[in-house]
Amino acid sequence: MTLRLFDTASRKQRDFVPVRAGAASIYVCGATVQGHPHIGHVRSGLNYDVLRRWLAHGGLDVTLVRNVTDIDDKILAKAAEAGRPWWEWAATHERSFQAAYAALGCLPPSIEPRATGHVPQMIELMQRLIDGGHAYAAEGNVYFSVASDPEYGSLSGQKLEAVEQGEPDATGKRDPRDFALWKAAKPGEPRWATPWGAGRPGWHLECSAMATFYLGDEFDIHGGGIDLIFPHHENEQAQSHSAKDPFAQYWLHNGWVTLGGEKMSKSLGNTLSVEAVLGRVRGPELRYYLVGPHYRSMIEYSEGALQEAVSAYRRIESFVHRVRERLGDPGVGAVTPEFAAALDDDLGTPGALAAVHNTVRDGNTALDSSDKEAALAAAGAVRAMTGVLGLDPLDPHWSAGDAGADAATGALTALVDDLLEQRAAARSRRDFAAADELRNRLTAAGVLVEDSPDGPTWSLKDV
């Protein structure tokens, strides 16, 4: 492969060379299931879904592990506040995340392990760290000794003297920079037995244990949001390397979705739930909005930008449907060299989508000039490229749903597209009065028409 990825650890782009020939292994930090997902939560899952699809397109057998943190201080606090069992609270919101990923076309992960299901692996890892002098037990807690790792801070650039873990200094901690691997159970909290006392996992420990259990002690890519670089990923790397596991060979981090210049988070109250946004736009349109920017960039949410993404996706969709209705179903062709070059350059989705729209424009020109072979070839290329991005308009995932609604949508699309073709024919013979009349008929029926270099697209007034 010619793929190059920006590795956070080395702070540069590196050629992607998998640990095992013909395969790729990815671990992505998934949700802490304390509440329903907002669009900032799911961006990470979408970004790594595109990476997975591109690796698979390149012929690799991809294993993607995306964990679920189902035990955590916030989960316990929110469940208690709601008067619900912690396990029910976690399971309810885990299902909500799964539904959101599915609604946005994410392929199911190879495995979606829960932290609570891997305590034996965590105990084994803690024992290795204690035996190696990198961890210690104290009053039912187990801590990692940060000073024992001479490379601590190499991932995030943190200076050892300035480290603050952001966790309370519980009893027995020898150094405030140390972090909890295991937390002694408090009265009424869930607990699991260990040689050092009953308690529950620390956040950082669980990911190291699950990643190596499923992917081996050395694997290709560890991904997550930039907010996880420190302390979470720094601590994962420290405990794993200290246990003599090579661990991740590439670290990838995606940017946030912000609102008003701040990271979208529940604590700030500036969230946009996936469910609420999907009440205004369709799944592939929201996916387009979230995967269109480069994965390492920030997305400052605005309704205008969302609607621009809706229009852009509909231009692609309209072209593919026009080809299908006039020439028959286009097969999936090959991606263009421009598309491949863009994704090989650190998963450059903006350039990849530019290649898609260039092909749509050429395809519309071919379709309007009755060059059937060129139009079908363009549609096939568009399907291949949008398939890698999870946006293929003819993917059955996007047409699944209520049969009656699908039939009504199909009938409306056929009628509107027929009028648009009549309008295009009128414009080509310079009968602008007839073209304007057709547009006015559509407008009166509540259909807004937008002309662009890629061809006309339409939407309903209430979108």
More confident residue, 356 or 264: 356
Contact 163, 257 (CB under 8 A): no
Same domain? For 307 and 391 the reply is: yes
- The CATH number of residue 342's host domain is 1.20.120.640
Average pLDDT over residues 225-244: 98
pLDDT digits (tens, 9 = 90+) for 78-110: 999 999 999 999 999 999 999 999 999 999 999
Domain identity same for 389 and 410: no
Mean pLDDT, residues 263-273 taken together: 76
Report yes or no on 135 lying in a domain. Answer: no
Say if residue 97 is in the same domain as residue 226: yes
Contact assessment for residue 216 and residue 124, using Cβ atoms and an 8 Å cutoff: no
Average pLDDT over every residue of 278-293? 97
Would residue 288 count as lying in a domain? no
Q: Are residues 103 and 206 in the same domain?
A: yes
Residue 463: pLDDT band by 50, 70, 90 thresholds?
Answer: very low
Per-residue model confidence as pLDDT tens digits over 368-395: 999 999 999 999 999 999 999 999 999 9
> What is the pLDDT, as a whole number, of residue 86?
97
Q: What is the mean pLDDT of the chain?
A: 93
Quick check: is 159 in a domain? no
Higher pLDDT, 415 or 452: 415
Instruction: Provide the 10 A C-beta neighbour count for residue 294.
Output: 19
**Confidence check: pLDDT of 274 > 50:** yes
Shared-domain flag, residues 26 and 83: yes
pLDDT at residue 452 above 50? yes
Q: Work out the average pLDDT over 447-452.
A: 81
Q: How far apart are CA 350 and CA 88, in angstroms?
A: 40
Question: Residue 98 phi/psi, 5° resolution?
Answer: -60, -40
Q: Contact at 8 Å (CB) between 208 and 220?
A: no
Residue 453 has pLDDT above 70, yes or no: no
- For the whole model, what pTM was predicted? 0.87
149 in a structural domain: no
| Residue 414: per-residue pLDDT | 66
My answer on whether 455 and 351 are in the same domain is no
Residue 457 has pLDDT above 80, yes or no: no
Range of the domain at 387: 301-397
pLDDT of residue 256: 94
> In whole angstroms, what is the distance from residue 290 CA to residue 311 CA?
14
pLDDT band at 419 (very low <50, low <70, confident <90, very high): confident
Asked, for residue 143, whether it belongs to a domain, the answer is no
Greater model confidence, 278 or 269: 278
pLDDT > 70: percent of the chain? 94
Q: Is residue 151 part of a domain?
A: no
Q: Which residues contact 288 (CB under 8 A, 6 or more apart)?
A: 309, 310, 312, 313, 353, 391
pLDDT of amino acid 383: 98
* 99 and 228, same domain (yes or no): yes
Side-chain-facing half-sphere of 231: CA atoms under 13 Å: 21
Q: Which of 404, 411, 382, 409 has the alpha carbon at shortest distance from 394?
A: 382
**pLDDT (mean) for 122-145:** 97
Query: Taken in order 193, 197, 202, 205, is the CA torsion positive or negative?
Result: negative
Residue count of the chain, please give it: 463
Q: Cα(296)–Cα(227) distance, rounded to whole angstroms? A: 12
The total number of structural domains in the chain stands at 3
- Answer yes or no: are the C-beta atoms of 318 and 364 closer than 8 Å: no
Considering only residues 135 and 445, tell me which one the structure prediction assigns the higher pLDDT: 135
- Examine the pLDDT at 245 and tell me if it is beyond 50: yes
Q: Is the pLDDT of residue 192 over 80?
A: yes
Return the axis-axis angle of helices 337-344 and 372-388, rounded to nearest 10°.
10
Same domain for 391 and 414? no
Say which range, 26-40, 54-68, 209-223, 401-415, has the weakest mean pLDDT: 401-415
Position with higher pLDDT, 263 vs 359 = 359
| Token representation of residue 431 | 């009968």
Cross-strand partners of 222? 27, 251
Distance CA 221, CA 382 (A): 28
Among 397, 426, 449, give the residue marking a domain's end.
Answer: 397
| pLDDT above 90 coverage of the chain, percent | 83
